[in-house]
């Protein structure tokens, strides 16, 4: 592997460690995840994902902010270290919300075809993802009362 590629992988690994879902995971695991990531940049107003789409990508925001919109209403905001798209990866159903860049956004994504096997191999990662899903469901329940 070239020195330039090593630097890129190291930068991705460092960035992943700042994402809540991945913080504290062993460096080897982070390197494995980093090797599967794709970088994306979005301008303000760009739709990162669209409600109803069947795209199975999981996104991690490294820089910038985004709005989560369901049925045309802003239901959440996301910033650095936060992620979205785990539902689409887990159940392969249409996206439940649109995510729009509110500022310039730099994000990494993982395709469901690469993330699903990783979840089977890494029980700690799967457990963290499950906890995050529970947290989001509970927040939704609280907002409905």
Which is nearest to 56 in space by CA: 113, 120, 139, 133? 113
First to last CA, the chain: 54
* pLDDT tier at 30, thresholds 50, 70, 90: confident
CATH: 2.60.120.10, 2.60.40.1080, 1.10.150.120, 3.40.50.970. Which one for 3-143? 2.60.120.10
* pLDDT tier at 79, thresholds 50, 70, 90: very high
| pTM greater than the 0.95 cutoff | no
* Pairwise CA distance, residues 37 & 114, whole Å: 9
Alpha helices in the chain (DSSP H): 3-17, 27-34, 86-91, 112-121, 123-143
pLDDT at 40: 95
* Pairwise CA distance, residues 121 & 102, whole Å: 35
pLDDT at 6: 54
> Rounded to an integer, what is the distance from CA 15 to the centroid of its chain?
12
- C-alpha atoms less than 13 angstroms from C-alpha of 11 in its C-beta half-sphere: 11
- Average pLDDT (37-43) is 94
Strand partners, 98: 69
Domain assignments of the chain as residue spans, ordered by start: 3-143
| Residue range 89-132, pLDDT digits in tens | 778 889 989 999 999 999 999 888 888 888 888 888 888 888 87
Angstrom CA distances, 96 to 12, 30, 54, 61, stand at: 28, 28, 10, 18
């Amino acid at each position: 592997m070239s020195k330039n590629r090593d630097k890129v992988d190291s930068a991705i690994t460092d960035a992943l460690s700042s994402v809540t879902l991945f913080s504290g995971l062993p460096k080897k695991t982070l390197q494995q995840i980093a090797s599967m990531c794709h970088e994306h940049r979005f301008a303000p107003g760009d739709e990162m994902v669209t409600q109803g789409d069947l795209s199975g990508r999981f996104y991690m925001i490294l820089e910038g902010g985004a709005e989560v919109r369901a049925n045309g209403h802003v239901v959440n905001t996301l910033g650095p270290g936060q992620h979205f798209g785990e539902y689409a990866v887990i159940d392969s159903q249409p996206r439940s919300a649109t995510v729009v860049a509110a500022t310039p956004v730099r994000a990494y994504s993982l395709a469901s075809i690469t993330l699903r096997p990783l979840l089977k191999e890494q029980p700690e990662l799967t457990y963290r993802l499950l906890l995050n899903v529970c947290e989001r469901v509970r927040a939704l329940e609280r907002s409905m009362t």
